[in-house]
């Protein structure tokens, strides 16, 4: 007996269409790999072609790949002239929040590089002078610091505390960039996360529906502000406001930049926190109220802890945003690579460094490679933050609310 | 748990008042900043937006004149970006919503990749644009064809880079729209002997058109304001002419503002221009965002 | 059992699992040609699962697995050689929650036909008219065929869905609680329709309404917790059921 349900038509077109869809869908995965590969590839040139720029007199380690360079690093680091750098760094790390203008800002080592041509808007980047001097409170004179006779190995160079990518002997010390990034990110999160979370609590629990329907889209609107616009607002308005109130030496500084970054962080933190707060089962809210708790007690002591993984994710993604934001960081932080933890001193972040220097870099040069290395770091950090929220936080949320 | 005493102690009341006030103040502060920002731009920039400003080329090294080429450059940029990104994003969304087994490794990897892509800093996309599109694809094309038009930043590569950046926006928005199509419609179609593909083309997609539209508009809104991504892939701060082909360099509103605000010789003098440019850029992105919200709310109502 | 009739659908030891959960336990039965067969039973007992297994709509559920055989017209529908698209064209289905496609009434009816072949306008018109007449909807909608089907009432929509299903000319009609969302008058119309259609089609009907099963069906099967408890002539089931569970359910002492 013949099969009455055999194929009547051939569906080659559909078969192809289906597979094209699958292939296109895999593009997202491919792109992630491509981003990593192509950004890292340019950075990797640093480690493979060592005989460029400063690295031509490398003595001990013969052309180390990145892993070797890392392994060899500790010894080289302490053995070098600036062996006290790690301590200084460690101390100021702890004292990140303490601002001491007397120590931090005043002893400018006789340089006028920090005095820009235009006092209102310190220039962002000057290819003639390189970026701004390294450590404004470092008593060591610049001359002794950079031992020109003995060129640094790549690793030593990267871990030094001078970022001066253009010059006879370019210096790619990432420590000032690290400080600048950490400083602005911390300020942005300290300002942005509480504001975003509190606003989320307000809209999720205290606001009447009519108010919520206005507030929510309004804050989401903030996410639609192009960052160059926020940067401009900080550069012009926020910077003046801060200067009028604090009388700070540098018109553009980490605080102004941090405020700008906070404006970028707030909508993200708000959106995710609000989502996870409203995702907490309403029964919990009612049960708590039925037990005699007040609304605010329930909101802060029951609902907020219940949504903690989501709020945590919100803050993590907020950090990622502040960390990777470029235009605001270029325009509002003063963009000088200083070794100062002061909120009122300029700062230069990883992203801003790429953004402001990539345009003028010599293709394929060591500087070019270092900028791509910074890009690789940005990518890896944002990837990790996302992976943590995806793989860990979401699981926790699902467990908590669905008991799986 | 405290026992019921009939009234809440005074100290608790005060604490509760503060707990609510703090949340309220935070909300008001955020809204205040938003309103302040928009107000600042409108007051300072509004009077400077004239017909001439919108239709003239900049003059005297960007210190006078208008923003016409930047406006056109931005428009071209997002148009080409849309043409490149929306089909890919839509196809991915169709895969995720119609074909993927939800817990298959591949589907989960695609989802993870999309989420990751959404979190990659825009400057990294910029580097990717340089490393992949310009250096690898462009130079490769040039070597293969013997031309010399692809191996440098251009409208084409900037659009491609932006298309990658906005891909997650499109995917998320289209997938949401596809998921809003009732399962019953799909089943009815399949039960009538339609193939999966016929069901998608004839039933699912027509019902998701507004979602695709929303996604595209949102992507355009995001792309139009993005500066860091295009910094090194073809944007220029002054152009004598409008871009004549996709391999030309182009001006861009956001980049124009950046250059005016930070790199022009006399920043103060161009402040009115900066404000006006900001307002135009903001108006453009907001118009796009609002129309996306409008389209989406109509979608949700249906 | 109705052995004397020719079996259109034959299930043998048919089981369905949703992941590790077994929804059907080794169901064996014969559904005769050109009769109305009704399935009753409490919610979650597996009626829909059985129905959806006949035209393999259950394939769409992730993690579903079958055992045993489901034979339609002498062919196991789960056999590798069976093309599910062809299978579904031969077996029409009407759902409980029937949303017409958000297209015109005319396009709803022609949807199934235009999937496989090009038909002339005249052919299409003719089929639209005949299927709407068969589903007793023609008089109500003949003046507004180009209007959106979403403008019809619930009962009209359900009859439109039946018309849509019979327009592709299947031999079997599966109906999963087709009246549960309808008012009594619409229900009456659909029941009438079912009685008329059984001359042409083999109809399998799932219902929660025992009066409905008693009114329209020739045979009735009673499912309980994934098992087919009893399957016999409708009159027998409702007057002298062989099983205690069936009797309990029918007399309302149950579920
Ligand atoms: N997609 C699914 N995934 C997992 N389990 C399912 C799925 N569909 C049905 N089930 C389970 O299989 C069993 C039978 O379901 P089925 O829908 O066949 O019942 P039913 O008799 O049609 O009930 P009702 O009268 O409520 O429609 C139920 O226990 C149900 O929970
Ligand atoms: Mg059912």
Q: Render pLDDT for A56-68 as a digit per residue (tens, 0 to 9).
A: 333 333 333 333 3
- In the block, residue with structure tokens 């043409």: B83
> Is B255 contained in some domain?
yes
pLDDT of amino acid A146: 44
Residue A206's pLDDT band (boundaries 50, 70, 90)? Answer: confident
* Domain ranges within chain C, ordered by starting residue: 2-250
Relative orientation angle of helices A254-279 and A239-246, to the nearest 10 degrees: 110
Which residues in chain C are closer than 8 Å to A14, comparing Cβ atoms?
none
pLDDT digits (tens, 9 = 90+) for A328-387: 988 888 877 777 777 777 888 888 888 888 877 777 777 888 888 888 999 999 899 888
pLDDT < 50 regions, chain B: 1-2
Which residues in chain B are closer than 8 Å to C97, comparing Cβ atoms?
184
Q: Atom 31, ligand 1: which residue's CA is nearest?
A: C44
Tell me the whole-structure pTM to 2 decimals. Answer: 0.80
Residue of C nearest to B195 (CA): C85
Cross-strand pairs, C94:
C175
pLDDT digits (tens, 9 = 90+) for A240-296: 888 788 777 777 788 888 999 999 999 999 988 888 888 888 778 778 777 777 777
> Is B39 contained in some domain?
no
> Is B41 contained in some domain?
no
Residue A2's pLDDT band (boundaries 50, 70, 90)? Answer: low
Residue A224 touches chain C, beta carbons under 8 Å = no
- Hey, what's the torsion of the CAs at A333, A338, A342, A348, to 10 degrees? 30
Most C-contacting residue of A5, A10, A11 (CB-CB within 10 A), to test interface: A5
- Comparing A393 with A281, which gets the higher pLDDT? A281
pLDDT of amino acid B88: 92
The pick from C23, C53, C61, C180 for probing ligand 1's pocket by mutation, whose C-beta has the most ligand atoms within 8 angstroms, reads C23
How far is the C-alpha of A23 from the C-alpha of C57, rounded, in Å?
Answer: 27
Residue C18 has pLDDT above 60, yes or no: yes
pLDDT of amino acid A185: 92
Residue C89 has pLDDT above 80, yes or no: yes
Give the closest-approach CA distance of B66 to chain A in angstroms.
18
Q: Atom 17, ligand 1: which residue's CA is nearest?
A: C48
Inter-chain CB proximity C112 and B102 less than 8 Å: no
> Is B22 contained in some domain?
no
Residue C93, Cβ density class (10 Å: 0-12 exposed, 13-18 middle, ≥19 buried)? buried
Cross-strand pairs, A237:
none
Mean pLDDT of chain C: 86
Best CA proximity match to B165, nearest among B212, B207, B216, B222? B222
Q: Give the environment of ion ligand 2: residues with CB less than 5 A.
A: C 48
pLDDT of amino acid B98: 87
CATH code of the domain in which B167 resides? 1.10.3720.10
> Is B58 contained in some domain?
yes
Cross-strand pairs, C71:
C10, C76
Distance C18 CA to ligand 1 centre (A): 9
Residue C1 has pLDDT above 50, yes or no: no
Which residues in chain C are closer than 8 Å to A7, comparing Cβ atoms?
83, 85-86
Chain C residues with CB under 8 Å of a chain B CB are: 55, 57, 60, 62, 85-86, 88-90, 92-93, 95, 97-99, 101-102, 111-112, 115-116, 161, 164-165, 168
Task: Look at phi and psi of residue C188 and say left if phi exceeds 0, alpha if psi is from -120 to 50, else beta.
Answer: alpha
pLDDT of amino acid A195: 92
Q: Are strands C21-32 and C7-18 parallel, antiparallel or unpaired?
A: antiparallel
> Is B8 contained in some domain?
no
Most C-contacting residue of B102, B183, B186, B188 (CB-CB within 10 A), to test interface: B188
Task: For chain B, give the percent of residues with pLDDT over 70.
Answer: 92
Inter-chain CB proximity A5 and C116 less than 8 Å: no
pLDDT of amino acid A92: 35
Q: Which residues are CB-contacts of C171 (< 8 A; sequence separation ≥ 6)?
A: C8, C73, C90, C91, C201, C202
> Is B15 contained in some domain?
no
pLDDT of amino acid A60: 35
Atom of ligand 1 nearest to the CA of C21: 5
Which of B184, B198, B206 lies nearest to residue C115, judging by beta carbons?
B198
pLDDT digits (tens, 9 = 90+) for C26-82: 999 998 888 899 999 888 888 999 999 998 988 888 888 899 989 888 888 888 888
Instruction: Give the lowest-confidence range in A131-135, A268-272, C169-173.
Output: A131-135
Rounded to 5 degrees, φ, ψ at A164 are: -145, 75
Rg (CA), chain B: 24
pLDDT digits (tens, 9 = 90+) for A10-34: 678 888 888 888 999 899 899 999 9
Q: Using a 6 Å CB cutoff, which residues line ligand 1?
A: C 18, 21, 23, 41, 43-49, 61
- In this structure, what token pair is assigned to residue A67? 């892993």
Best CA proximity match to B89, nearest among B264, B250, B219, B222? B219
Inter-chain CB proximity C62 and B102 less than 8 Å: yes
> Is B110 contained in some domain?
yes
Q: Which domain holds residue B279?
A: 49-301
Which of A351, A375, A382 lies nearest to residue B119, judging by beta carbons?
A382
pLDDT of amino acid B6: 55
Which residues in chain C are closer than 8 Å to A3, comparing Cβ atoms?
75, 79, 81-82
Interface of B with A in 14-33 (CB under 8 A): 15-16, 19-20, 22-27, 29-31, 33
Structural domains of chain A sorted by starting position, each given as residue range(s) with its CATH number in brackets = 84-150 (no CATH), 175-401 (1.10.3720.10)
Which residues in chain C are closer than 8 Å to B206, comparing Cβ atoms?
102
Q: Atom 20, ligand 1: which residue's CA is nearest?
A: C44
Residue A154's pLDDT band (boundaries 50, 70, 90)? Answer: low
How far is the C-alpha of B10 from the C-alpha of B296, rounded, in Å?
Answer: 47
Please, what's the largest Cα pairwise distance for chain A?
A: 100
| Architecture of the domain whose range is C2-250 | 3-Layer(aba) Sandwich (3.40)
Give the closest-approach CA distance of C108 to chain A in angstroms.
23
């Amino acid at each position: 007996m013949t099969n009455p349900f055999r194929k009547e038509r051939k569906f080659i077109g559909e078969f192809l269409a289906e597979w094209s869809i699958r292939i296109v869908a895999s593009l997202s995965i491919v792109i992630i790999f491509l981003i990593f590969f192509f950004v890292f590839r340019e950075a990797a040139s640093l480690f493979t072609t060592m005989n460029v720029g400063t690295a031509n007199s490398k003595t001990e380690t013969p052309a180390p790949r990145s892993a070797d360079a890392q392994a060899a690093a500790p010894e080289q680091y302490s053995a070098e002239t600036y062996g006290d750098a790690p301590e200084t760094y460690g101390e100021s790390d702890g004292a990140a929040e303490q601002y001491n203008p007397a120590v931090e800002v005043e002893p400018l080592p006789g340089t006028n590089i920090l005095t820009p041509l235009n006092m209102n808007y310190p220039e962002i980047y000057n290819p003639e002078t390189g970026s701004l001097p390294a450590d404004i409170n470092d008593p060591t004179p610049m001359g002794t610091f950079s031992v020109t006779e003995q060129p640094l190995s790549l690793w030593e160079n990267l871990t030094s505390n001078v970022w001066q990518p253009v010059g006879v002997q370019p210096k790619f010390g990432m420590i000032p960039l690290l400080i600048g990034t950490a400083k602005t990110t911390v300020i942005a999160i300290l300002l942005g996360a509480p504001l975003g979370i509190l606003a989320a609590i307000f809209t999720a629990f205290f606001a009447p529906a009519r108010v919520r329907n206005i507030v929510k889209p309004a804050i989401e609107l903030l996410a639609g502000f192009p960052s160059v616009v926020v940067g401009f607002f900080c550069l012009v308005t926020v910077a003046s406001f801060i200067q009028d109130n604090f009388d700070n030496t540098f018109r553009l500084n980490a605080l102004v930049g941090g405020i700008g970054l906070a404006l970028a962080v707030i909508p993200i933190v708000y959106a995710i926190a609000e989502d996870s707060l409203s995702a907490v089962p309403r029964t919990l809210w009612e049960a708590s109220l039925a037990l005699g708790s007040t609304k605010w007690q329930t909101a802060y002591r029951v609902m907020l802890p219940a949504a903690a993984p989501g709020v945590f994710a919100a803050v993590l993604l907020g950090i990622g945003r502040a960390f990777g934001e470029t235009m605001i960081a270029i325009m509002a932080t003063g963009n000088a690579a200083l070794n100062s933890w002061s909120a009122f001193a300029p700062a230069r972040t990883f992203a801003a460094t790429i953004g402001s220097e990539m345009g003028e870099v010599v293709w394929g040069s060591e500087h070019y490679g270092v900028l791509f290395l910074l890009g690789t770091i940005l990518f890896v950090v944002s990837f990790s933050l996302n992976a943590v929220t995806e793989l860990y936080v979401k699981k926790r949320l699902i467990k908590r609310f669905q008991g799986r | 748990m405290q026992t019921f005493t009939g009234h809440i102690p005074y100290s608790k009341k005060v604490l509760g008042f503060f707990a609510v006030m703090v949340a309220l103040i935070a909300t008001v502060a955020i809204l205040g900043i938003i309103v302040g920002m928009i107000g600042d731009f409108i007051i300072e920039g509004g009077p400077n937006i004239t017909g001439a400003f919108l239709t003239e080329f900049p003059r005297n090294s960007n210190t006078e004149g208008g923003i016409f080429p930047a406006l056109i450059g931005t428009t071209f940029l997002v148009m080409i970006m849309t043409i490149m990104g929306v089909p890919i994003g839509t196809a991915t969304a169709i895969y995720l919503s119609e074909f993927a087994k939800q817990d298959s490794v591949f589907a989960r990897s695609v989802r993870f990749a999309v989420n990751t892509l959404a979190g990659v800093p825009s400057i990294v996309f910029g580097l990717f644009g340089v490393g992949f599109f310009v250096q690898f694809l462009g130079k490769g094309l040039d070597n293969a064809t013997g031309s010399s038009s692809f191996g440098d930043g251009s409208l084409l590569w900037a659009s491609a880079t932006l298309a990658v950046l906005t891909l997650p926006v499109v995917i998320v928005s289209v997938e949401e729209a596809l998921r809003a199509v009732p399962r019953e419609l799909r089943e009815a179609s399949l039960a009538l002997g339609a193939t999966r593909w016929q069901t998608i083309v004839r039933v699912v997609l027509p019902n998701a058109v507004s979602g695709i539209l929303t996604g595209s508009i949102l992507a355009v809104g995001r792309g139009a304001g993005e500066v860091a991504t295009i910094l090194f892939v073809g944007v220029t701060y002054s152009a004598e002419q409008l871009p004549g082909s996709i391999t030309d360099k182009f001006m861009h509103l956001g980049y124009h503002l950046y250059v005016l605000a930070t790199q022009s010789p006399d920043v103060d003098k161009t402040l009115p221009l900066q404000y006006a440019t900001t307002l135009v850029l903001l108006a453009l992105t907001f118009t796009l965002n609002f129309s996306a919200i409008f389209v989406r709310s109509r979608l949700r109502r249906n | 059992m109705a052995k004397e009739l020719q079996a259109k659908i034959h299930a043998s030891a048919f089981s369905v699992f949703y992941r590790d959960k077994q929804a059907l336990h080794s169901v064996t039965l014969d559904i005769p040609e050109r009769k109305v067969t009704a399935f009753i039973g409490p919610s979650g007992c597996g009626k829909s699962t059985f129905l959806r297994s006949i035209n393999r709509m259950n394939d769409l559920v992730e993690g579903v697995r079958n055992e045993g055989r489901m034979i339609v017209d002498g062919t196991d529908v789960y056999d590798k050689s069976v093309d599910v698209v062809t299978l579904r064209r031969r077996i029409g289905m009407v759902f409980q929650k029937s949303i017409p496609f958000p297209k015109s009434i005319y396009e709803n009816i022609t949807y199934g036909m235009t999937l496989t072949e090009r038909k002339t306008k005249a052919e299409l018109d003719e089929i639209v008219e005949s299927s709407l007449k068969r589903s007793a909807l023609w008089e109500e909608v003949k003046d507004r065929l180009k209007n959106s089907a979403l403008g019809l009432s619930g009962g009209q929509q359900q009859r439109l869905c039946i018309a849509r299903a019979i327009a592709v000319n299947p031999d079997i009609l599966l109906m999963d609680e087709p009246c549960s969302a309808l008012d009594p008058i619409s229900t009456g119309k659909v029941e009438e329709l079912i009685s008329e259609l059984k001359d042409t089609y083999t109809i399998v009907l799932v219902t929660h309404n025992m009066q409905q099963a008693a009114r329209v069906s020739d045979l009735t099967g009673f499912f309980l917790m994934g098992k087919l408890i009893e399957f016999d002539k409708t009159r027998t089931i409702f007057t002298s059921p062989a099983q205690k569970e069936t009797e309990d359910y029918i007399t309302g002492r149950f579920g």
